[in-house]
Amino acid sequence: MKRNYYLLIATVVFSLSACINVKKNSAGWTLAKIPTLSDVGHTNLPEEIAAVDAPFETVQFIKPVFQQDTIRVELSLEKVNSTIINKAIADLSSNGGGVVEIPTGEWLTGRVELKSNVNLHIPEGSILRFSGLVKDFQPAVFTRIEGVDVMSLGACIYANHQDNIAVTGRGKLIGPTGGDIRDRIDRSGVIENVIEASTPIGERMFDGNQESGTIFPPMFISPINCTNVYIEGVSLENTAFWNVVPIYCDHVIIRGINVNSVGVPRGDGIDIESSRNVLIEYVTLSCGDDCFTMKAGRGYDGLRVNKPTENVVVRYCLAKEGHGGITVGSETAGVIRNLYIHDCVFDDTEVGIRFKTRRPRGGGGENLIYERIRMNLRATAFKWDMLGDSLYVGALAERLPARDVNELTPKYKNIQAKDILIENCTHLVKVFGIPESPLEDLNIENVVANCSNFFYACDLQGGTFKNMRLNSNDSILEFVDAGNLRFENIDFNTPARKIDLKIEGRQSDQIQFSNCSHIEDQTWFR
């Protein structure tokens, strides 16, 4: 069928009795077993790490081994204990390593610095409460903030260029409380406008040395340039910024932790930053921002470093409150690739599976795979936000006109989702792409969903949607400059017993429907 170049509003109405035959009701597919709340999260952590079966090559993930030497540090109730803890860690590391154990009780500390071959063990009944004073996190150390390398406070638990390090135990970590840290956070604008990419890293100093000097807030646990990182069992609350953030690391295992940063702006749960060979399992996150997040550097500074986040597996995890259950971006300069999320539950999260980037961020994401996920959401199930807000990127947030493709133009492609159960959401799919760099090769199949709205796609080229049972009060599928799409074997269950197609844009073409309820088999051509 030929249609106007610019706009089509096509409504095809069929009654159930007249137009849905036995073939369309006999779907010929079944949803795989989907985990429930009782199957996932930190309360279900097994003793051993099961073998990883991923659709890409991965390393063998095993628990680290430490020497038998154990130092049970004697801490003071009267003062900040970071000097005592750090000396014990350094001494043990210099003698081959072992375990530094925090005693039962609640202890105040500043920055703790991990060293090679040392396990910082925080057993049940032990609480480390971190100081809220900038001076307890000085001097400044090398770190990365929102995808840009800086010199600042680092993290409450920090490491740089170390190997075989761990934080374990059933104890609790409480983020910076009181003091001046939260009052002195730099709030002058988005970080790429604060730090020029050409500025030498040593001059990107935000150490708070002057009384009025600003700082970037410390993350909670953040090893940087480390290998063989192991984090297990601890609970984290009241962070000043992102919670667990491996940066430039290789071979990372995060399992059985419980994070609560609800009410903390930018209080992400776990951010994997330009790191590779990562396993996250049996984790529970309740967050003030995104829950599980994959990042790879920002803009020109991220391109300078050019380190991807790759070969990441997230399994048997629970995302509760948060902006996104699993988010890729928005810092994507080094590219996020080979991500496998399976057997997870997102319960009372806003967006379920979320993708972000911006025109000036660079890179993008590819080979991102999601399987056997249960979602109960406040908002959209699958959302791509590739333009952002003018508050952060100015006029580049405006979709049109299309811009010239350059080294900062990001791209998302080759994304697959299968066996998804959505108990509640607003839109099933929302795509806000980039006209000059549309989302490509999106494939979603085997879905059962209750949603308020079906589908909106702007700047999507290439996708298959098949084997779905969708319940909605809405009847609209909307496309703007979207094409090469196939909808196959979908039961659109809507009270109106019809599907309304709204299609516009010169790039819209070849939208095919096959064996779907309430719409005839057809291919819409531009």
The answer to whether the predicted template modeling score (pTM) of the entire model surpasses 0.85 is: yes
Quote the pLDDT of residue 192: 86
Establish how many alpha carbons lie within 13 A of residue 247's alpha carbon, considering only the half-sphere containing its beta carbon: 28
Query: Three-class SS of residue 223?
Result: strand
Beta bridge partners of 278: 252, 312
Quote the pLDDT of residue 19: 32
Establish how many alpha carbons lie within 13 A of residue 57's alpha carbon, considering only the half-sphere containing its beta carbon: 0
Between CA 301 and CA 149 the distance in angstroms is 7
Quote the pLDDT of residue 210: 76
- Sheet (strand 112-113) strand order: 112-113, 155-160, 219-224
Between CA 457 and CA 434 the distance in angstroms is 11
Residue 178 DSSP code: S
Quote the pLDDT of residue 336: 98
Quote the pLDDT of residue 391: 87
Between CA 419 and CA 379 the distance in angstroms is 19
Between CA 22 and CA 167 the distance in angstroms is 58
Q: Which two tokens stand for residue 58?
A: 């991965």
Beta bridge partners of 202: none
Domain 31-437: CATH superfamily is Single-stranded right-handed beta-helix, Pectin lyase-like (2.160.20.10)
The H-assigned helical ranges of 298-393 are 299-305, 390-393
Q: Which residues of the chain have pLDDT under 70?
A: 1-27, 211-212
Quote the pLDDT of residue 28: 85
Q: In this structure, are strands 235-237 and 172-177 parallel, antiparallel, or unpaired? A: parallel
**Burial classification of residue 180, based on how many CB atoms lie within 10 Å of its CB (0-12 exposed, 13-18 middle, 19 or more buried):** middle
Nearest CA-CA partner of 110 in 63, 144, 75: 75
**Burial classification of residue 189, based on how many CB atoms lie within 10 Å of its CB (0-12 exposed, 13-18 middle, 19 or more buried):** exposed
